[in-house]
Amino acid sequence: MNKPVVVTEETLVAPVIVEAAQASSPAGPAMTVLAGISFSHLLNDLMQSLIPSVYPILKDNYALDFTQIGLITLAFMFTSSLLQPIVGIYTDRYPKPFSLAIGMSFTFCGLILLSVAHHYWVILVAAALVGTGSAIFHPESSRIARLASGGRFGFAQSLFQVGGNFGTAIGPVLAALIVVPFGQGSIAAFSLVAALAIFILFQVGRWYKPRIVPRKSAKPVAHGDALSSRVTQVALVVLVVLVFSKAIYMASIGSYYTLYLIHKFSLSTQAAQLYLFIFLGANAAGVFFGGPLGDRFGRKYVIWFSILGALPFTLMLPHADLFWSAVLSIFIGFIISSAFPAIVVYAQELMPHRIGMISGVFFGFTFGIGGIGAAVLGALADFKGIDFVYQVCALLPAIGLLAVFLPNIKKKRS
């Protein structure tokens, strides 16, 4: 059953993109394009994950404390958070098919700068450049994934996001194999990964360009069975709060899990990064299944389960030994990560005429809150200890109870 589309007078390009997506439905998703976007997401997030992966090296080389490490994460994530909604709003009106390749160039420059940085402020600038590349990449690539979905929006969003999650999981392993033994300068080798991503995204841009030309004859159409603005606003606020809980917990893992394992179990840096890889691999698997399950059973129920369902495992993690920490991290990573594809597609269905803005807000909000959370958690770790941080963060999935206030879009719009 086709979902109704709400289009306002403020949009000129969106009607053409929606028509193209619907027209491709009989043939199914454009798998080559989805594969290209997903693989580019893998490369993009692989390079992003190098930043937290080299924190132990930077901490030792420059005698950084936890607060300074948190500020590096903040420089990367906050830059991305500020720019992503702006990029999304702009490209809703004026899509730029080759902006993805241009954005990846910022990441390329950031990696080169990080490899030669010898001052703390240069590290912050390099992290901000990588964040800028991420801000440009995510809104448009999420839009392209939806356009190439053939109507299977949850599947396309999951395939797009799972590439990023696998990249995030692979990054610490490559850091352990390359950066740890060869030092900070070896980060420059990953600029070749950025160059490969630029080439792929240029080809995706060539596919995307003829599908975003606005039609002057397109007229805005409104559907009377759309959700009211008040219900939509409440739902968006709930989704933002749910993303808040997920982002803060993921920040605690992404920025400090290796340091936590080193502190609690006296692991080496390389061994701790392998345990982080286990968590991130489970995270990627959860993302892959979250979207299709939302297509089949309804996104509200997937959102409800995936955030609240992680609560028992997060509560046990601070009290577990090394073996059970690894086991619990698998359950936490798989369950909590399945929420995000469902959240993004759910929000896109609330405002189908603002795909870029919604993608930018939710991807950007995740990065921004994660960055702020990393800085706050770093200060908390300096004050109360890293063990206390995980005891506090264990309660965050309880915020998933707010999912009860989300309207059932599938039932409402049937």
Q: How far apart are CA 88 and CA 149, in angstroms?
A: 19
Q: What is the pLDDT of residue 16?
A: 47
Q: How far apart are CA 6 and CA 17, in angstroms?
A: 13
Contacts of 29 (CB under 8 A, 6+ apart): 148, 149, 150, 152, 155, 156
Q: How far apart are CA 59 and CA 56, in angstroms?
A: 5
Q: How far apart are CA 314 and CA 327, in angstroms?
A: 11
Q: Is residue 1 part of a domain?
A: no
Contact at 8 Å (CB) between 103 and 137? Answer: yes
Integer angstrom CA distances of residue 107 from 136, 141, 252: 10, 16, 24
Q: What is the pLDDT of residue 17?
A: 47
Q: Is residue 3 part of a domain?
A: no
Structure tokens at 300: 């509200």
Q: Is residue 374 part of a domain?
A: yes
Structural domain that includes position 28:
14-213+228-412
Structure tokens at 132: 């800028």
Contact at 8 Å (CB) between 168 and 283? Answer: yes
pTM higher than 0.75: no
Find, among 115, 111, 113, 128, the residue nearest to 75 by Cα.
128
Q: How far apart are CA 125 and CA 110, in angstroms?
A: 8
Q: Is 71 exposed, middle or buried (CB count within 10 Å of its CB: 0-12, 13-18, 19+)?
A: buried
Q: Is residue 70 part of a domain?
A: yes
Q: Is residue 4 part of a domain?
A: no
Find, among 137, 153, 139, the residue nearest to 45 by Cα.
137
**CATH code: domain of residue 87:** 1.20.1250.20
Integer angstrom CA distances of residue 27 from 20, 31, 34, 386: 12, 10, 14, 52
Q: How far apart are CA 289 and CA 266, in angstroms?
A: 34
What SS3 class is residue 407?
coil
Q: Is residue 222 part of a domain?
A: no
Q: What is the pLDDT of residue 214?
A: 55
Integer angstrom CA distances of residue 124 from 7, 113, 129, 191: 41, 10, 9, 18
Q: Is residue 219 part of a domain?
A: no
Q: How far apart are CA 91 and CA 97, in angstroms?
A: 9
How many domains does one find in the chain?
A: 1
Q: Is residue 286 part of a domain?
A: yes
Q: What is the pLDDT of residue 10?
A: 39
Per-residue pLDDT of the chain (414 residues; tens, 9 = 90+): 444 444 443 343 443 444 344 444 444 567 888 888 889 889 988 888 788 777 877 887 887 777 888 788 778 877 777 777 787 778 777 777 788 888 888 989 988 888 888 888 888 998 889 888 888 888 888 888 888 877 777 788 788 887 877 787 788 778 878 887 887 778 888 888 888 999 999 988 888 888 765 544 444 444 445 567 788 888 888 888 888 888 788 777 777 888 888 888 888 877 887 888 888 778 778 877 777 777 777 777 778 777 778 889 989 988 889 999 899 989 998 888 887 777 877 887 787 777 767 777 777 766 667 667 777 888 888 888 888 888 888 888 888 788 777 877 654 444
Q: How far apart are CA 299 and CA 363, in angstroms?
A: 18
Q: What is the pLDDT of residue 143?
A: 82
H-type alpha helices, 117-210? 120-147, 153-174, 180-182, 191-208
Contact at 8 Å (CB) between 178 and 186? Answer: yes
